[in-house]
Structure 1
Amino acid sequence: MKQITLCCIALFIAFSAVGQNSKNDIDGLFSEWKKPNNPGGVVMVTHKNQIIFSHAYGLANIPYRIPNDKETIFNVGSISKQFTAMGIVLLQLEGKLSVDDAIQKYLPEMPQFKQTITIRHLLHHTSGLRSSPELFGLAGWRDGDAITNEDVYRYLAKQVDLNFEPGSEYMYSNSGYILLAKIIENVTKQDFKSWMKENIFLPFQMNATFIEEDCSKLISNTAVSYTEIEPSVFKTIENNDLTYGASNVYSTSTDLLKWAKNFYETPKEWQTAFTMLETLEVLNSGRKNNYAFGIFVDDFFGNRRVQHTGAIAGFRSILYCYPDEDLEIVILSNFTSNQLFKIADQISQLFLDNKSIAKKEEIAINPVKLNSEVLKKHEGLYWNDTDNYSRKIYFENDTLWYLRSNNKKSPLLPISETEFQMGGINEKLVIKFEDHSNTMKLISSDNSILKFKKYEYNVPTPKELKSYTGTYYSPELETSYTISLKDGKLYGYHSRFGEFEIRILKKDVLDWSGMSISKHIRDKKGNVLGFKITLNRIRNLWFEKKQTL
């Protein structure tokens, strides 16, 4: 084969000079919010201590035709987490707790796991605790069921395992921040909402900001949240998440700007606290985690950024701060939209230079000549047991191919008999086959490794299908699922979800209609003892087989 060169070139994005900025540039990004009788939101941008843009769009309440304005109050969703984190920081600075304390010191009802979870783990989303929305969903709670902090505490106190060893991974978890709120209450002996107002919101003159988990209360000047069910037809979305600590802070664009300003112009008495809020830490492996204490600390094309977003019911919120540029962007909306993140980035580009170094990495490869017999021995199906998906390796037209589940494929260019460079992509990925262990490793440019195990898929026999049937119970969730066999197919059933089809991916690994994956455990005689289920932010939660059908 001839030498093949793979070029990895960073995507070029045009950035506007600050002098070219205008209100029209920003206003033009919100054309969808200008339609009559639509909900909308509020956008505020400050740069170098000057308000560059401030505008409200649409209706806060459609039936009463109340418009949004700059003092309209919105639920800011997960932006709330940074205020909870600041509460922990203040208690640390007062010597009332340490972020390196085990959580059981303040939450004695929490189980003792195999590894210690510290407050720091909760702050960084590295605790391994399963996230509460997914726990409730798996337990049978529906969208619309009211969930309180007490409900979350009750479920977390029953957990016996974690998703992973604390500190080994980052996995966003609302559970951790709900527990942080309880720690603040237990340490201060005060109601969380009152303590936060007294110690954080009022000192920063965030007079319109408060915590409210009871959505049934009528609060003046607060926007109603909506979703669009068909063009220009909107439906109210009630917020039935009654938890606090992870969400349910209500605020205005002006109050959030007061807060964000502290990331680059901090009062002397708050400098230590805000520095601590930006604390980053590496994982046990040494890899970087860019989630600090309730905020992401990252960069946007080389510009350092402190940011968080929020989504709850129909509310969407964005808070971007670029401390080195004295730039703040706040977008608050009262209807569901996935475009706000893109728009926030476009606004950022209007004010920032592209400081990232355009990388052009030429990777020269001299593929070795391998005969078809050598290539074909790597063919097969390979399973990633961590993230529960498979990849197919197959030989065609003198080339070994890597096939993804979406039917997209990449050629594998041989470096040696067992190592291949993946072609057709803009990054360096190496595939290494270990024949003695039937393992395939995918090695990225940062040396992170994904492991795949070779397996064979065989159509299950009626006896094998029958072995999966039965009723399975989780003491951690206090709920049961039943798996039955009908007309040669497996079906799951839950009293609140009804029936759904179950498909076998490989022996003892079952797909629950794309909702989750169950891995069935057998005894030495081949009898199914139960299964471990994985979905989103839950891994390997145990269900014991209680009855065979």
Structure 2
Amino acid sequence: MAALEQEAQEKIDALFQTYNQEDTPGCAVGVLRDGELIFKRGYGVANLEHDVPITPRTVFCLASLAKQFTGMCIALLEEAGRLSLEDDIRTYLPEFPDYGPRITLAHLLHQCSGIRDYYVLALFLAGVKFHDYLSRDEALELILAQRELIFLPGERFHYSNSNYFLLSLVIEHITGQTLGQFSQKHIFVPLGMQSTCFRENHSLLIKHRATGYGRFSLRNEEPGSDQFDMGEATHFTCTNELELTGDDGVWSCIEDLALWYQNLSANRLGQGRPELIERYLTPGRLLDGTSTGYAYGLCVGTRNGAPFIDHRGWTCGYVAVCEYYVEERLSLFILSNTSCLQPWEYTGRLRAILRDEPEQPSTPVASVSSYVLSKTERACVTGSYHCPENTYVWQIADVDGRLRVTVNGLDEVELLPREKHTFEISDGSYQVKAIPGKSGVYAHLEVSRGGRTWTFLPFRSLPLSEPEVQAYAGIYRCEELATTYDVYIEDGRVCLRNHNRHRCGLDLDFEPTIGDLCYKYDPWVDDVVIEFQRNPEGTIRAFVFRSHRGDACERLRFERVG
């Protein structure tokens, strides 16, 4: 193996120094260049109870990175002539609902089927405990109970775990083997990936396995004794009892992932032809001909004009990312067992070290603005804004004379003045026009990107009156989820609590924003939006779950029953 220069190794060690401690979880890092694993190292502890260090052989749950292996199984069956991507899902799963338009295997594979995400349905809405046992039959039952699609198949891209879970059932139907058995025989064994498997039984022994640690206690769990402190963040042991595969369920290590990505350059699977990889890395097309940007379980596109492939994964204290810079023949892997670490925040700096580039400035060049706002002008734009169309929430604050925007409670960017009433996000992604209103504040924002414009309205300036807010109180039920919620009012906030066994992601206290929209940011579920709907006479008849993370449950109504 070609050794990485000592200076570069030291810089990488310094990059992950925060997690290279004897009493914290951390990560394993790998660099594959020109087909050789030139760097592999572990930082931190795989298991805090037994003081087991992380090494390149430590096995992590890959979460959604599992989709690329499911996609390769589909590609192998396609190459062997055992399926066609144009096959209707009901050819293999005849019990699947007939929604009218055909749902093909291509729709599932390229994330454009319109099928709601079972993961969101179960864990965020139906009250299934986050790391509770969820059987394959229970997940399938939840999907089959859905009465409609959220859009016409092929109409648009929408990432849904249901798609790849259903593909695992298709593979089993065709081969008579489970996904784990088929992938073991046709992928992992041929490539020598001895530490990789689909875990189809949560009691399966996995050697060298890392324990996952959450940054905060799960919403539906009481804080436990298995915790540690790292700075201001308290971690809790997370247990992954899910046995569903296809969308999730692969456990692997840095050394095995290097073998997998080597095969993307020199194929040894199936018939050993390069055409398999070419097909495998080709993203799907929507009805209008545009690319989904998603191939057989991998995100495929460009970065700075160059071909780029990647995927991310997150579950129960495990976070992972793989990035492949095609023209450079460079792959980066970061597998973590702590939700404190967001691996994709490190890959850019890691690549800069490998290319011996100077560290990028923390403030982008685009953040320089020639137009200077007065304190009064800054005050006119500060506040919270909500977009009814896409449910985004922007909270604008004056921080030391500069406008900072917190997007959906999570990402913070700078809002730069370009001229009077005109602004731009610091990375150039959005242009903003502020429409003047009365009393020295703006009536609304017009936010544009890529030829589209959205209207962001300011949060209501005064709280709802007692009769207005009490109008939301009642009992609401969704038959498709077999789930009932109590809606009650506490200190002017709209509070939800489900009747099922466990609390879940929607058990929150919401702030009314504009109209009948209510918003809440929570560190466990990011941001959540619900919208109440009214009868013609004005009485409340239902609420609908919406979220900027996706509309997997949009139009899934909880009807008022009491």
TM-score (norm 1): 0.78
Assess, with a 3 A threshold, how the Cα gap between structure 1 residues 57 and 497 changes in structure 2: closer, same or farther.
closer
1:141 Cα deviation from its structure 2 partner: 1.8
Structure 1 alignment gaps of length 5 or more: 1-17, 366-375, 394-400, 415-419
* Alignment partner of 1:272 is 2:279: no
Q: How does 1:137-536 map to 2 (within 5 A)?
A: 137-227=124-214, 229-231=228-230, 235-267=236-268, 269-284=272-287, 287-352=290-355, 384-389=387-392, 421-422=422-423, 425=426, 427=428, 429=431, 431=433, 442-444=447-449, 446-451=450-455, 460=464, 462-485=466-489, 490-495=494-499, 496-497=502-503, 500-511=508-519, 516-535=528-547, 536=549
1:96-111 pair list within 5 angstroms: 96-111=82-97
Residue identity matched to 1:229: F
Question: After superposition, what is the alpha-carbon deviation per residue over 1:495-540, rounded to whole angstroms, capped at 9, x for unaligned?
Answer: 3439753433233333367663332233333333222221343323
Kindly provide the CA deviation profile for residues 230-261 of structure 1, in whole angstroms up to 9, marking residues without a partner as x: 13986432112321111111122221111101
Residues 347 and 482 of structure 1: is their aligned pair in 2 closer, same or farther, counting only changes over 3 Å?
same
453-462 vs 269-278, which moves further: 453-462
Do the aligned partners of 2:65 and 2:311 also contact (CA within 8 Å) in 1? yes
Q: Is this contact kept in 2: 1:75–1:250, CA < 8 A?
A: yes
- Superposed CA deviations along residues 330-349 of structure 1, whole A, max 9, x for unmatched, are 23333333243232222222
Moved more, 150-159 or 201-210: 201-210
Residues 26-105 of structure 1: pairs in structure 2 closer than 5 A: 26-105=12-91
Q: Secondary structure, in 3 states, of the residue corresponding to 2:246?
A: coil
CA distance in 1, matches of 2:237, 2:444: 51
The 8 Å contact of residues 441 and 452 in structure 1, kept in 2 or not, is answered as yes
Q: 1:353 to 1:66 in 2, by over 3 A?
A: closer
Q: 1:187 to 1:488 in 2, by over 3 A?
A: same
Instruction: For residue 103 of structure 2, give the secondary structure of its aligned residue in structure 1.
Output: coil
What letter is aligned with 1:316? V
Q: Distance in 2 between matches of 1:263 and 1:66?
A: 32
CA distance in 2, matches of 1:269, 1:404: 49
Letter in 2 for 1:183: V
CA contact (8 A) 2:44 2:53 kept: yes
Q: Which amino acid aligns with 2:511?
A: R
Amino acid at match of 1:247: D
After superposition, give the CA deviation of every residue in 1:376-431 in whole Å (9 maximum; x if it has no partner). 9xxx99863332246799xxxxxxx99988898666858xxxxx753575537265
Equivalent residue, structure 1, for 2:373: none
SS at match of 2:561: strand
Q: Which residue of 1 aligns with 2:558?
A: 543
| Partner amino acid, structure 1, of 2:107 | H
Q: Residue 260 of structure 1 aligns to a residue in which SS?
A: helix
User: How far does residue 288 in structure 1 lie from its aligned partner after superposition?
Assistant: 4.4
Change (3 A) 1:422 1:152: same
How far did residue 33 of structure 1 move? Answer: 3.7
- Asked whether the equivalents of residues 413 and 423 of structure 1 are also in contact (C-alpha less than 8 Å), the reply is no
Compared CA separation, residues 501 and 277, structure 1 to 2 (3 A): same
What is the CA deviation profile of residues 479-498 of structure 1, one whole-angstrom value per residue up to 9, with x for unaligned ones? Answer: 11122356766443323439
Aligned position for 1:398? none
Identify which range, 21-30 or 383-392, moves more after superposition. Answer: 383-392
1:402/1:422 CA distance change after superposition, 3 Å: farther
Q: Which amino acid aligns with 2:264?
A: F
Distance in 1 between the 2:395 and 2:28 partners?
A: 48
Deviation at 1:184, TM superposition (A): 0.9
Residue 252 of structure 2 aligns with an amino acid whose one-letter code is S
**Structure 1 stretch displaced more, 25-34 or 485-494:** 485-494
| 1:474 Cα deviation after fit | 0.2
Distance 2:199 2:395 in 1: 50
Contact map agreement 2:27 2:336 (CA 8 A) in 1: yes
User: CA–CA distance in 2 between the matches of 1:205 and 1:521?
Assistant: 56
Q: Name which of structure 1's ranges 489-498 and 160-169 shifts more when overlaid on structure 2.
A: 489-498
- Residue 519 to residue 424, structure 1, CA distance change in 2 (3 Å): closer
CA contact (8 A) 1:492 1:512 kept: no
Identity over aligned pairs, percent: 27
1: CA distance, partners of 2:544 / 2:325: 43
SS at match of 1:82: helix
Over 3 Å counting, the alpha-carbon distance change for 1:326 and 1:138 in structure 2 is same
Structure 2 counterpart of 1:121, from 107, 128, 135: 107
User: Aligned partners of 2:47 and 2:491: how far apart in 1?
Assistant: 51
Following the alignment from structure 2 to structure 1, what is the Cα–Cα distance between the partners of residues 230 and 13?
Answer: 22
Measure, in 2, the Cα distance between the counterparts of 1:449 and 1:486.
36
Cα 1:241–1:386 change in 2 (3 A) is: farther
Give the letter for the 1:262 counterpart. Answer: N
Rg larger in structure: 1
What do the CA deviations read for 1:107-166 (whole angstroms, capped 9, x no partner)? 222223354432222222222322223211211123332223222111110112333333
Q: Deviations over 1:157-187 (max 9, x none)?
A: 0112333333333332212111111111112
Deviations 1:331-377 (A, max 9, x none): 333333324323222222233488xxxx999xxx9xxxxxxxxxx9x
Following the alignment from structure 1 to structure 2, what is the Cα–Cα distance between the partners of residues 24 and 490? Answer: 52
Aligned partners of 1:457 and 1:506 also within 8 Å:
no
TM-score, with length taken from structure 2: 0.76
CA distance in structure 2 between the aligned counterparts of 1:516 and 1:33, rounded to whole angstroms: 31
Matched-pair contact (CA < 8 Å) for 1:78–1:309: yes
Q: Partners of 1:508 and 1:70 in 2: how far apart?
A: 51
CA distance in 1, matches of 2:125, 2:340: 26
